[in-house]
Amino acid sequence: MAFLTERQLNEMGFAALGNNVLISDKASIYGANRIKIGNNVRIDDFCVLSAGEGGIDIGNYIHIAVYCSLIGAGKIILADFSNISSKVAIYSSNDDYSGEFMTNPMVPTKYTNVTSADVKINKHVIVGAGSVVLPGVTLNEGVAVGSLSLVDKDCDAFYIYVGVPAKKLKKRKRNLLDSSFYRQNI
């Protein structure tokens, strides 16, 4: 995987750009002027970050694995130490599927009924491969979402969620908060 150079990153016009940012040259970035990226962030091949009106805020020590998408008009926040596994889709906008309205962004907005709401992925959250997070969801600190889950509601701190729709499975250990690396970097 080839990463963009520091010069290439600076030329993209991000709203903020930290140190040690590794973005694949195969990632697609739209609305860079509405994207803030902290320190020690890696964004892998074939990811799509499309920042709408609300923008995208990416904290520190974040990994966004291959084939992920962060898309929508609402704000998307990835807090420090969060991890987005491969093929995860995070949406801050959603079409109306009822049939009462038309769908897709090429149809004039007066014929659609798109809803947008902020999405917040808090510290130490891991979202498993192939999962989908819908608009308006908050994953509280330490949440772990199992692979292939559909998250349509807020999740309680330090619990593991799995399924379609995602349901609370069990408590997640908090040992990661005792890590000397974490304590040195908070």
Q: Tens digit of pLDDT for each residue in 104-158?
A: 999 999 999 999 999 999 999 999 999 999 999 999 999 999 999 999 999 999 9
- Range with the lowest mean pLDDT among 57-66, 130-139, 177-186? 177-186
Give the pTM.
0.96
| Res. 185 pLDDT band, cuts 50 70 90 | confident
CATH T-level topology, domain 6-184: UDP N-Acetylglucosamine Acyltransferase; domain 1 (2.160.10)
- Enter the tokens of residue 83: 């991890």
Of all residues in the chain, the percent with pLDDT exceeding 70 is: 99
